[in-house]
Amino acid sequence: MIRVTVSYPAKENARFDHSYYQKQHAELIHQQLDGHGLLKLEVDQCLADGAGKSPAFVASAHLFFTDLAQFQAAFAAGGKALNQDMANYTDIVPVITISQVVA
């Protein structure tokens, strides 16, 4: 199984609408990717770093797929709509990490 993590770095004066992201954008992720192998979606609103200070990221989404090829096919099918929706909740360029889930 792989996990695709989409994280939004904290930046001064950046815009991020958590309510929209957690409701409308998460629903759009399901609409676009469930039929293409999305196994699970987790959405985080980051609160603090390990020392209790401001976090490095304001939010993250974790998308789980069977393998990398399945994710790539799913994103080829639904990624355009997801990318276009970003303007509705943020002006932050996300950082994407793809990981093999090992435990």
SS3 of residue 96 by DSSP: strand
pLDDT tens digits for range 35-91: 999 999 999 999 999 999 999 999 999 999 999 999 999 999 999 999 999 999 999
Which of 29, 41, 57 minimizes the C-alpha distance to 3?
Answer: 41
Distance CA 37, CA 17 (A): 27
pLDDT band at 15 (very low <50, low <70, confident <90, very high): very high
Query: Model's pTM, two decimal places?
Result: 0.94
Tell me whether strands 95-100 and 40-45 are parallel, antiparallel or unpaired: unpaired
